[in-house]
Amino acid sequence: MKIYITQVFVDDQDKALRFYVDVLGFVAKDDVPLGEHRWITVVSPDDPEGPQLLLEPDAHPAVRPYKEALVADGIPAASFAVTDVAGEHERLTSRGVVFTQPPLDLGPVVTAVLDDTCGNLIQLATRTAG
C-alpha cells in the first residue's frame, strides 16, 4: 500500500494552482473540469509519478470552520519534505511567501510553517537524524 493522493482544502482553486506551481515549485498533473469545480492535482518535480496533492475546493460547510480552527491553533494542514528548510525559507520569503514560523531546529527535524494564501498553514520539514 502507498499514498496515491492526499489533499489540501483551498478557497480558490486558480489561486491555489498558481501558488503551488509558480511559487512553491510543484508541477501541475491533472486539471479536469467537474461542474462548478475542478479535479486539480500537483506533484513534486522530483517525483512526477509519486503522490499527488489534490487542491480540493473548501465548499463543504464543515471544511471552512475546520480550516479556520487549524490555522487559529497554528496546526499545518500538510507537511512537505525539503532538503534544506533554511534555504527554502530564504527562497520562498524572497518570493513573498509569509511564514508563521521561521526555521526551528527541533533536534531530529527542522521545521518552518508558511501560509499558502488559500486558507492553510503548510509545514516544511527536514529530518536531521535517522
> Where residue 18 sits, what CATH number does that domain have?
3.10.180.10
Across the range 69-82, mean pLDDT stands at 97
CA distance 55 to 81: 18
Confidence band, pLDDT 50/70/90 cuts, at residue 120: very high
Confidence band, pLDDT 50/70/90 cuts, at residue 130: low
Domain count of the fold of the chain? 1
pLDDT computed for residue 79 by the predictor = 97
20: left (phi over 0), alpha (psi -120 to 50) or beta: alpha
Residue span of the structural domain in which 34 resides: 5-127
Percent of the chain with pLDDT over 90: 98
pTM here?
A: 0.94
Across the range 96-112, mean pLDDT stands at 97
Question: Cell numbers 501541475 correspond to what residue?
Answer: 28
Across the range 62-78, mean pLDDT stands at 97
Phi, psi (5° rounding) for residue 44? -70, 140
1 within 8 A of 18, measured Cβ to Cβ: no
